[in-house]
Structure 1
Amino acid sequence: MAAEKEHKHIRGRHAKGALPSYGSRTDVGLVREHNEDSLAVNPPLYAVADGMGGHAAGEVASEIAIQALVANAPDTPDGDNLARAVVAANHAIIRAVHEGIGRKGMGTTMTAAMLSGKRLVIAQVGDSRAYLLHEGSLQRITRDHSLMADLIDSGQITPEEAKTHPQRSVITRALGSDPSTLPDIYEMNVSAGDRLLLCSDGLSGMVDDPLLESILARVKDPQRCAAALVNEAITAGGHDNVTAIVVDAPSNAEAIIKKETIKGRIGAIIAAIALVLVLAGGIGGSLAYLNHTAFLGEQDGNVTVYRGMPGAVMGIPLSTFDHDTGLAVEELDNIPANVSERLKDGIRVDSVADADALVETWKKQIEEHKQSATPEGENEKDKDSSASTTDEKTTDSQKEASTTSERTQENEGGDEQ
């Protein structure tokens, strides 16, 4: 495949500089006829693209995307320029369709990373993932652009239910469908000994995170590790094409991770700056980051919206308070997916508008729960009670009228006398 040829071509470049060691493998799996995954291993650039469109069109889309990415990627990790390269890949697929290459409707995911020294930058569209193994603990860096991720975040289904959901393959963002599609950009510093994993959903969908963590920690050679990961997905059923790239951070990386998620924005389409990380005199750091991402948390018992991401770096918060939604956290206890518990760590979304939309979804679920929990006979009881009260008032009025009439008759009798 073209992806494998690209891989072989790039291996010779790795020896020219002090770059990370890496390994990669892609496999068609046990069910599909074509391998629609493509990859790039071009240090310091690494990328996975999972094509879609049927009749080999997905293979065409992913290969076009990888070639355009490699041609336009910067020489060093840079969020804005890596985002521009992904946008160029998107336009290349759309242009190819207009030129009669492939077929209409073809597209691909794209997860691209640049790792040099301690600096790691990732651009992502779709549900191909990036993970980081740090001090033996696996952290998922990217958030899937998929229907399942949206349903889980809204509390409508659980992660376990998503694994067997009939629409688990539906993605909400891909290259090749919309000229204005932009990637999410993640920028961070990594530590010596950290290990980066890029993979298509043929791996993440077949192998649970705990097993991914175990293999990444146990198999030290990155090439053997990539092969072991792919073999595990095939052993589990190999229902999809499987691609894995394993990259080890160079030994001179610093020992503290600092990370933040930003939105990639390009040229006239891009309206703000990317994340800037400044370390001053070794004493502390300050972060200037794009405020378009958001998350939901809790404050004073209410659900609140924050710009940025949960947590802090060296005591500096990575978020700012935006507004209180007026929804009490305790009201979330009766809707699915343990939403109230997840709020403690922050539920990440793409924007403040998405956060508000998610809250509105919860409010509707809470109202539906209240209505379904109301006993059927309660309204009848209320009516009976109301009728009884009315009858009592009517009786009292009648009694009062009778008493008044008797008094009037007595007075009239007295006057006659």
Structure 2
Amino acid sequence: MRVLFILSQQPYPWWLYGRSSYYYTLLSLSEFIDVHVSFPVSSIKEEDITPLRQKNINPYPYVLDTKDKYYKLLFNLFEMEPFKIRKYWNINYRNFLIQITKEIKPDIIQVHTPHMALYGMELKKIFPEIPIILRPQDIVSQQIETLLNNSKNPFLNLIASWQLKKTMKYETYVWNFYDKVIFLTKSNLKYAKILCAQSNLLNCDNEGKFLYIMDGVNVKENLYIRNKNKEDSIAFAASDQLQNVLSLKWFLNNIWFNIYRETKFKLYIYGKVCEHFKREENTLREKKVYLNGFIENKDQLDLELSKSKLFISPTTVGSGYRTKILDAGSIGMPVLCTSFDLEPFTDFLKPNQHILVADTKDEFLEILKKIEYNEISLEKISHNFYVVLKQEFSWDNTAKKFLTLYSNLKNTSLQIKDK
């Protein structure tokens, strides 16, 4: 079995910018199938490519500038596709992918993220006999909706409203072209069916076109239990993606600044998200918020996080699920999240048993006070969460589900050829 994956960014280094989903999907499947992967890069660096080859992953990078540019946003006024999708489109990259497909003759093509969906649609026209899968990491229109619900920036809201109309219509249009659309969570699957019910383009239940397969997680040693010298601190770590910036702003303004005087805890922030708060660093320190910046070495970051008593994920904007929650749990960190964060995990995680949940300043403060007075056992929550991750979120389980899907699609394709 040979599968060609098309990603929106390079999968290695896997610990940067939320790439772990891509990397571990490829790595877990490479033990069973012949994995080929193409992705746009700003420049080709051998130190980012060689580790993939060493893991039996065959990379086909393509130099393409996918950075946001204002003039491209203006051009998008006259384009059918939403900006997020259009900015990744390049006719030469399309031709590059066509040539790769001719050379390697994949049994399956799997496109990750809606940003790259146009390439899959083009390949389906040229190679109709090859089953093509779309693997959205999130639903873009849902991301935009949650942004509109939380942003108070009039200019940002104007752009978001304009893009939302284009995106809601275009997402279902794109899904119609694919043999299978494999969402990341059950909640995304439900949301997608609601979108499709409002569209005449597609019967969502047509031959099981829509499925969901959750990512696995690379469970490590429980550093939280091992590290006995805990600080009275809570930790947050995130990239500089817009949803992380907006969610952290919401937490600081609506939660932390209202409760920090009433708790002994400090707040440590790690990652590229810190860059958006540098101008306020002195003010933040006065309110017990410390910007610790980006730590490239993932093992070092894990050790730093495990020194805190609690990891927070105060998400209010986004789609899919927060990888940071699983990453924290993979080293045993107990997590305090919002109801929005918990929704994709409700089949696996129960509040106060595996994870802590709060949405208001009073709820956050109540949990922190209970921790201070030992009314909540963080060690027990750490253990319970860690065990669930090992049992339910292994990459082997995720790989087996994809392999079953590939086998069924390939058999169906061969039956059609025989006719």
Q: TM-score, normalization: structure 1? A: 0.26
More helix by share: 2
Q: TM-score, normalization: structure 2? A: 0.26
Structure with the greater alpha carbon radius of gyration: 1
More strand by share: 1
